[in-house]
Amino acid sequence: MTTTTVAAATEYVVQLRRISKRFGGVHALREVDLELRRGEIMGIVGDNGAGKSTLMKILSGAYVADEGEIWVNGRKVRIRNPQDSARLGIAMIYQDLALFNNFDVTKNIFIGRELTRGPMGLVLDKKRMYRETQELIRELKVDIKSPRQNVASMSGGQRQMVACARAIAFKSTILIMDEPTAALGVTEANKLLGLIRNLADKGISILLITQRIPDVLAIADRVFVLKGGERQGVLDVGKVTLDDVVTLIVRGKDRAGEAPGDVMYKSFG
């Protein structure tokens, strides 16, 4: 490998190459390429059934692609299950979050990998876990009052924030979020979007599936458009309008340049 190709390969934290996936007769994804940079927020958009969740589930190890390659930090990797993905620093945050309702924030963040102390490491180091959670809350500017707050009493947005904090505590550097703001009110959604932007500014790379295009335009760096399981294009948020994005979602790359009205005419013609 020449120096040039190494540099080119490591410019991206994630590269999906020619990813295809079928479910029976349904071609959910067709030779999809995606490149994600460090510290970037990439919006993943497209109509229902476009393949957004399937593509992200392949990266998170929930599904295995039929064809294609996954590269993480310039290396070709195999992701056969969620554990493989987690080991590579990838975390997927689902809308129906798996938090433990009877536990506080700290327990939810450290569950499964509790900090211990003592010569044999047999004593739970609760003090340190609460302190680290407090630091995480402050550092991420998470809208949660105390590391001792029970998650059962939290709003949907706060719960998403706990899930993000947990991922960061686990040293995840690539976060995937599937419709995180779908069930949230405007204020809550904006707070969560603010946290996502903070994370990106700290160097975390984020793949954000959403139907809310204005959300993407507010915080993302680029928008990846899928339609019918195919990549339609990747748009720089600073260079496009809401209309441009919607046009690409609805018409696809081959018809996006046509004059308004043509689509209706042609689809009935």
Ligand X SMILES: Nc1ncnc2c1ncn2[C@@H]1O[C@H](COP(=O)(O)OP(=O)(O)O)[C@@H](O)[C@H]1O
Residues that bind ligand X (CB under 6 A): 23, 26, 28, 46, 48-54
SS3 52: helix
Name the nearest CA neighbour of 248 among 238, 258, 239. 258
Question: What Å distances lie between residue 172 and 98, 167, 206, CA to CA?
Answer: 17, 5, 11
Question: What Å distances lie between residue 102 and 10, 147, 152, CA to CA?
Answer: 42, 14, 6
Give whichever of 136 and 249 is closer to Mg ion, judged by the CB atom: 249
Q: Residue with CB nearest Mg ion?
A: 53
Contacted by 165, from Mg ion, ligand X, none: CB < 5 to 8 Å by type: none
- Here's the x/- map for Mg ion, 14-53, by CB under 5 A: it reads as ---------------------------------------x
Give whichever of 49 and 68 is closer to ligand X, judged by the CB atom: 49
Q: How far is the CB of 255 from ligand X (least distance, A)?
A: 19
- Here's the x/- map for Mg ion, 222-261, by CB under 5 A: it reads as ----------------------------------------
- Chain position carrying tokens 């904006």: 190
Interaction residues for Mg ion, span 45-104 (CB under 5 A): 53
* Distance from the Cα of residue 201 to its chain's centroid: 15
Cα(130)–Cα(20) distance, integer angstroms: 44
Q: How far is the CB of 71 from Mg ion (least distance, A)?
A: 24
In terms of DSSP H, where are the helices of 147-212? 156-169, 186-201
Contacted by 175, from ligand X, Mg ion, none: CB < 5 to 8 Å by type: none
Task: Detail the DSSP E strand segments found in 46-153.
Answer: 67-72, 75-77, 90-93, 116-117, 123-124
How large is the greatest C-alpha to C-alpha distance in the chain, in angstroms?
Answer: 78
Contacted by 50, from Mg ion, ligand X, none: CB < 5 to 8 Å by type: ligand X
Contacted by 26, from ligand X, Mg ion, none: CB < 5 to 8 Å by type: ligand X
* Alpha-carbon torsion angle 203, 207, 212, 213, nearest 10: 80
Contacted by 54, from Mg ion, ligand X, none: CB < 5 to 8 Å by type: ligand X
Contacted by 265, from Mg ion, ligand X, none: CB < 5 to 8 Å by type: none
- Binding residues (CB under 5 A) for Mg ion: these are 53
